[in-house]
Structure 1
Amino acid sequence: MDLSSLIVKLKELLPNSSIYANEPLANHTTMRIGGPAEVLVIPNSTQDIQNTIDFAINEGINWTVIGRGSNLLVSDEGIEGIVIKLSDCLDHLQVEGSKVIVGAGYSLIKLATLLSRKGLSGLEFASGIPGSVGGAVFMNAGAHRSDISEVLNRAHILFEDGKIEWLTNEEMNFTYRTSILQKKRPGIVLEAEFQLVPGRREEVVSIMQKNKDYRKETQPWNFPCAGSVFRNPLPNFAGNLIERANLKGYQIGGAKVSEMHGNFIVNAGNASSKDVLQLIKYIQDIILEKFNVKLQTEIEIIGKFLKNSQ
């Protein structure tokens, strides 16, 4: 099916969704890197998401889901097929006492801030984590010695076969920066249910602010970046190893190891995905040589270059 026919069919199928052809994904990622999505769909509802995926499967078209574009490196060559962006939908929020039901597209920072002001404790660790609730659940995001698995009751998941199920915390199989959705049962988070704890508003807000201030002081949010690049090879920390290897400030093309935090690669100016990948590989080689530690990436790397270089 040619691109113009594909766009026509999708607009007929999804009259309330926004649909774009050859949309630059650099406009939709926090690193400001990424070539065009052949088709970008910003769905209006869960039903539109289901309809998009069903259509793609029936037509044999590749489909990819992104959230708010953090924790993501997209190829300069872009992504074939349909890219579904969830951050502009699925942003509902329902607070029932200390139980919270929230859409996958809701900003995690916004959620943590709002709940702290209600005196609800449990998400203080998320005060500086960019991205969406769905992405945070998908990868069990965490900081300050806590993570999503500590507060999630269950998650509403759309699986690749079109089925929708609620998975309990136990069924999510959470481990460090990982959930069952990454490999064993690929699926899309539609919404999450969190169980928080009532606390003193002043204390919760104070902890939130301290966490937020710490991240501002130690992480380079004044440059486009994707967040932490490498998983911590516990009991070591990736940033500490990179600093000990004197790699802070090291640069390839427009991609640079942050001088504030070793586990961040920033777009210092017109960086390409190739620059970032080369810098990641260089860091991995140096850390393996100096410390005999294999660093694994935490960011998700997607796009056409996977066929040739991954």
Structure 2
Amino acid sequence: MNENFIKNYEYYKDISLKKYNTYRLDVKCGYLIYPGNTKELIDLLKYLKENNINYFILGGGSNIILAKPYFDVVIKLDKLNNIKIKENIVTAEAGVSLIYLANLCMNNNLNGLAFAGGIPGMVGASTAMNAGAYKEDMASIVKEVKVVTPSLEVITLTNKDLNYSYRNSFLKEHKDYICTEVTLEMSYLDKDKIKETMTSRKKRRIDTQPLDKPSAGSVFRNPEGLSAGKLIEDAGLKGYKIGGAEISTKHANFIVNTGDATYEDILELIDYTKKKIKEIYNIDLILEQEIIR
């Protein structure tokens, strides 16, 4: 990496990514770079591609497993954080916190993101993976997105183009299309009613999820008509531990870092869980979290 090229970017060299991923895995990267806008992102991508430098885009650090000890370049889009609200249409750049946006919409009497009040992700990544909860998801409100294509053009994709399905989309399957901006179509509802929904869901999360320990959210997708957590619990795996990684005693579809977990511990525990569920129920659990190597 030519540091003269990135001198006008905010960047950090030889840094641990521990505080940037919600499993708190202590892996390193050579350069952590923050583009200030879409043009800077495109310029950076052009440089990295021309010089065959490996990189990945890191969102809020949830729903992922950083599965190697060292990454060359990690790009954070936190500075792409502009928001516009016009009537019931909300446009947010990829680096906006989903929780922040959910609360902002609530305060503007805009309904549609009440499910996201406890999802610790960024708008771009959440849109790409079709984040959701309580039988609601991003697919139901996304109108269109702006993306940087593999040829470094900025284009607009509609909801239909995104080909949404459960925790999946065109963007999740095509990592070389990078979401920079999302437009949401919301509905009107009194903010007190939205707040009531968000408050009750927050209480439910506190009561049912291991929020006191590092995790990355639900590990497996729910099989159709079934609960992955219940299958794992009924298999007697709650509390099962490999190294520092443990199947939560509070919610069996969460793996928690008890203090010193490595990515190897987490991956081994995932494989063990899948194997046991296959043996007992003949069901193939599908990983919801993304393994980044």
Instruction: State the TM-score, normalizing by the size of structure 1.
Output: 0.91
**Aligned: 1:85 with 2:76:** yes
**Residue number in structure 2 paired with 1:260:** 250
Give distance in 1, aligned partners of 2:129 and 2:173.
Answer: 11
Give distance in 2, aligned partners of 1:271 and 1:256.
Answer: 9
Q: Is the 8 A contact 1:7 1:19 kept in 2?
A: no
**Aligned: 1:216 with 2:216:** no
Give distance in 1, aligned partners of 2:123 and 2:240.
Answer: 32
Give distance in 2, aligned partners of 1:243 and 1:264.
Answer: 11
Letter matched to residue 300 of structure 1:
E
**Residue number in structure 1 paired with 2:67:** 75
Structure 1 residue 302: Cα displacement: 1.1
Structure 1 residue 134: Cα displacement: 0.7
Aligned residue among 209, 225, 233 for 1:235: 225
Q: Is the 8 A contact 1:159 1:185 kept in 2?
A: no
Q: Which runs of 5+ in 2 are unaligned?
A: none
Which aligned pairs between 1:19-168 and structure 2 lie closer than 5 A?
19-79=11-71, 81-86=72-77, 88-168=78-158
Q: Is the 8 A contact 1:39 1:83 kept in 2?
A: yes
Structure 1 residue 111: Cα displacement: 0.9
Q: Helix, strand or coil for the counterpart of 1:165?
A: strand
Identity across matched positions, percent: 36
Q: Is the 8 A contact 1:34 1:78 kept in 2?
A: no
**Residue number in structure 2 paired with 1:297:** 287
Give distance in 2, aligned partners of 1:119 and 1:93.
Answer: 16
Which consecutive segments of 4 or more residues in structure 1 shift more than 3 A?
Answer: none
Q: 1:218 to 1:9 in 2, by over 3 A?
A: same
Aligned residue among 5, 19, 35 for 1:10: 5
Structure 1 residue 117: Cα displacement: 2.0
Instruction: State the TM-score, normalizing by the size of structure 2.
Output: 0.96
Q: 1:36 to 1:108 in 2, by over 3 A?
A: same
Structure 1 residue 83: Cα displacement: 1.2
**Residue number in structure 2 paired with 1:270:** 260
Give distance in 2, aligned partners of 1:255 and 1:10.
Answer: 40
Number of equivalenced pairs: 293
Which is further off, 182-191 or 254-263?
182-191
Give distance in 2, aligned partners of 1:7 and 1:70.
Answer: 30
Give distance in 2, aligned partners of 1:10 and 1:218.
Answer: 48
Structure 1 residue 34: Cα displacement: 4.0
Structure 1 residue 76: Cα displacement: 4.6
**Residue number in structure 2 paired with 1:307:** none
Letter matched to residue 37 of structure 2:
S
Give distance in 1, aligned partners of 2:229 and 2:138.
Answer: 22
* Higher percent of residues as helix: 1
Letter matched to residue 65 of structure 2:
L
Letter matched to residue 213 of structure 2:
F
Letter matched to residue 22 of structure 2:
T
Structure 1 residue 118: Cα displacement: 1.8
